[in-house]
């Protein structure tokens, strides 16, 4: 059984302990069998109170049949997820056995740590654009007449940029929750890959990047892809942002026809000229909160890329670029899912 299992008779004496319970508790079954279960397993609430005193299966209400999973602990502080069944020969009859199911709380703790990391990321990433918006808007409200028209426009442009950044962050966080829940919706239509890549290069150039830093290559038989237009834009924006952030400036965008185990489709590659990703880290690149050597960003971009591409029936991978750096490839099937 994947869960620990301990049984005790009507007198509270431990009758059996399975192997998983031994592993969870770090005690041999022979040491617990024959003991009072309250001694062998001294469960406490998080306030340090004896759970056995509070639950009291032997003298409590006879209509009780057990309880759902509870987070309890042992005197040494180890946490356990515990379920209980109170067995009775007849309904509301005398107790004939107590059966406890045990689970290690480590998995739950890791989940809670992930949630805490997400909250910390949200707080850190949202604070910066909010601080800019608040600072510039408050300054303009109080001292509007003291600034020239050019200064006002500069401040308003900064507010607009911070608002866009805030919108992107919120969109990313919402998409993470949709991906986790398997509820990411896509609406696939035929799109021009060449036009889409060119549009993203134009956006980068409009953001003060040099047009010579980008190269675009699209094979004639790879110009059309079935994808959700907004989601494809989101994928390319994240990949280009990562390539610019972790590279030395040059970004190569390429689309080729590819036939894989799942059938034909279009393979889009985004290559940078940075230091690349060590092979042992590549499995973690598409996980939540992964950060490259720069340590910047939310760590959600590639996780979202992978979720969007897989929702289209495709896949994503990372590899060494032929001339150094890293290349991220995303595959979109030729036919809509």
Q: DSSP state, 77?
A: S
What is the pLDDT confidence band of residue 295, given thresholds at 50, 70 and 90? low
Please determine, for residue 259, whether its predicted confidence score (pLDDT) is greater than 70. yes
262-291 average pLDDT score: 82
Percent of the chain with pLDDT over 70: 95
C-alpha 247/C-alpha 330 separation (Å) is 19
Task: Give the strand pairing for 315-320 and 326-333.
Answer: antiparallel
Please determine, for residue 335, whether its predicted confidence score (pLDDT) is greater than 90. no
158-164 average pLDDT score: 87
Please report the pLDDT score of residue 291 as a whole number.
63
pLDDT in tens, 221-255: 999 999 999 999 999 988 998 888 877 778 999 99
What is the pLDDT confidence band of residue 311, given thresholds at 50, 70 and 90? very high
Q: Which tops the pLDDT comparison, 112 or 68? A: 68
Q: Are 280 and 296 in contact (CB under 8 A)?
A: no
What pTM, to 2 d.p., does this model score?
Answer: 0.61
C-alpha 267/C-alpha 255 separation (Å) is 6
Q: Are 203 and 243 in contact (CB under 8 A)?
A: no
- Kindly provide the b/e burial profile for residues 85-120, where b requires at least 16 CB atoms within 10 angstroms of the residue's own CB: ebebeeeeeebeebbbbbbbbeeeeeeeeeeeebee
Q: Are 179 and 286 in contact (CB under 8 A)?
A: no
Please report the pLDDT score of residue 179 as a whole number.
85
Q: Which tops the pLDDT comparison, 290 or 71? A: 71
Please list, in sequence order, all residues whose beta carbon lies within 8 angstroms of the beta carbon of residue 189, skipping any fewer than 6 positions away.
Answer: 226, 227, 228, 229
Please report the pLDDT score of residue 325 as a whole number.
85
C-alpha 39/C-alpha 46 separation (Å) is 18
Q: Are 325 and 334 in contact (CB under 8 A)?
A: no
Please list, in sequence order, all residues whose beta carbon lies within 8 angstroms of the beta carbon of residue 336, skipping any fewer than 6 positions away.
Answer: 188, 226
Which residue reads 């442009």 in tokens? 157
C-alpha 243/C-alpha 168 separation (Å) is 18
Domains, the chain, with CATH or none:
4-104 (3.30.450.20), 108-181 (1.10.287.130), 189-333 (3.30.565.10)
Please determine, for residue 288, whether its predicted confidence score (pLDDT) is greater than 80. no
Q: Are 308 and 288 in contact (CB under 8 A)?
A: no
Backbone φ and ψ of 100, nearest 5°: -110, 130
| Nearest CA-CA partner of 202 in 272, 257, 226, 194 | 194
What is the pLDDT confidence band of residue 289, given thresholds at 50, 70 and 90? low
């Amino acid at each position: 059984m994947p869960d620990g299992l301990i049984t005790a008779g009507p007198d509270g004496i431990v009758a059996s302990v399975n192997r998983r319970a031994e592993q969870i508790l770090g005690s041999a079954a022979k040491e617990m069998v024959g003991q009072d279960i309250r001694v062998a397993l001294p469960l406490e609430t998080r306030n340090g109170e004896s759970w056995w005193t509070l639950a009291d299966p032997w003298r409590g209400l006879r209509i009780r049949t057990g309880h759902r999973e509870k987070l309890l602990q042992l005197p040494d502080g180890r946490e356990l997820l515990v379920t209980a069944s109170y067995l009775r020969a007849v309904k509301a009859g005398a107790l004939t056995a107590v059966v406890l199911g045990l689970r290690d709380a480590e998995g739950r703790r890791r989940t809670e740590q992930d949630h805490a990391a997400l909250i910390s990321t949200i707080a850190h990433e949202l604070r910066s654009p909010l601080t800019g918006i608040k600072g510039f808007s408050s300054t303009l409200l109080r001292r509007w007449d003291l600034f020239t028209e050019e200064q006002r426009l500069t401040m308003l442009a900064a507010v607009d940029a911070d608002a866009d950044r805030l919108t992107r962050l919120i969109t990313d966080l919402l998409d993470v929750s949709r991906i986790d829940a398997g509820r990411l919706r896509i609406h696939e239509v035929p799109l021009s890959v060449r036009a889409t890549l060119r549009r993203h290069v134009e956006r980068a150039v409009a953001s003060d990047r040099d047009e010579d830093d980008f190269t675009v290559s699209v094979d004639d038989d790879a110009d059309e892809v079935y994808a959700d237009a907004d989601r494809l834009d989101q994928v390319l924006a994240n990949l280009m942002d990562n390539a610019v952030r972790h590279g030395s400036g040059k970004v190569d965008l390429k689309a080729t026809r590819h036939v894989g185990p799942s059938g034909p489709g279009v393979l889009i590659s985004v290559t940078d000229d940075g230091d690349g990703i060590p092979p042992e880290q590549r499995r973690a690149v598409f996980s939540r909160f992964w950060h490259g050597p720069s340590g910047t960003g939310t760590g959600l971009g590639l996780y979202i890329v992978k979720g969007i591409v897989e929702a289209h029936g495709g896949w994503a991978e990372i590899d060494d670029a032929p001339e150094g750096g890293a290349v991220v490839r995303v595959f979109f099937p030729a036919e809509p899912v």
